[in-house]
């Protein structure tokens, strides 16, 4: 049973759930945390991320929704890693992240 969301709410939920991909991806790589905390972060992040994706896909076409969800997750995960100084930001990475975001916005505009 899917939840009927308005298009504006569905896009908001989809973008927020895409950002929560960062939480579970971080939990997979956070070797400095105890396993119990990593598991909790992973489960909570996954439930929010996948739950939001599932809710949004009741309104947004699956191909578009999944592409946006993955794109938002990739960019927010990269931004989080850069903020934590685990990865560096080069101009090439910035250009490709901008291209990815442009594609995400483009998919939203034409949907």
- Give the pLDDT confidence score for residue 1 in this predicted structure: 54
pLDDT in tens, the chain (111 residues): 566 889 999 999 999 999 999 999 999 988 898 999 999 999 999 999 999 999 999 999 999 999 999 999 999 999 999 999 989 999 999 999 999 989 888 887 887
- Crossing angle of helices 21-29 and 62-83, in 10° steps, is 50
Q: Has residue 83 been placed in a domain?
A: yes
pLDDT recorded at residue 3? 65
Q: Measure Cα distances from 18 to 31, 34, 89 in Å.
A: 23, 25, 21
Pick from 81, 14, 77: which is nearest to 50 by CA? 14
Residue 19: domain span? 7-110
Count of structural domains, the chain: 1
Residue at 85 is within a domain: yes
User: Cα(5)–Cα(109) distance, rounded to whole angstroms?
Assistant: 18
> Is residue 1, in this structure, part of any structural domain at all?
no
C-alpha triplet 44, 30, 42: angle, nearest 5°: 15
The answer to whether residue 2 sits within a structural domain is: no
Q: Quote the CA–CA distance of 1 and 35 in Å, as a whole number.
A: 34
Residue at 86 is within a domain: yes
Q: Is residue 12 part of a domain?
A: yes
């Amino acid at each position: 049973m899917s939840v009927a969301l308005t298009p504006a709410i569905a896009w908001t939920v989809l973008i927020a759930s895409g950002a929560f991909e960062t939480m579970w991806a971080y939990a997979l790589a956070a070797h400095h945390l105890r396993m119990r905390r990593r598991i909790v972060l992973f489960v909570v992040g996954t439930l929010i991320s996948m739950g939001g994706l599932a809710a949004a896909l009741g309104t947004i076409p699956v191909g578009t929704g999944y592409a946006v969800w993955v794109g938002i997750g990739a960019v927010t995960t990269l931004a989080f890693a850069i903020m934590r100084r685990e990865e560096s930001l080069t101009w090439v990475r910035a250009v490709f992240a901008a291209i990815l975001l442009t594609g995400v916005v483009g998919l939203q505009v034409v949907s």
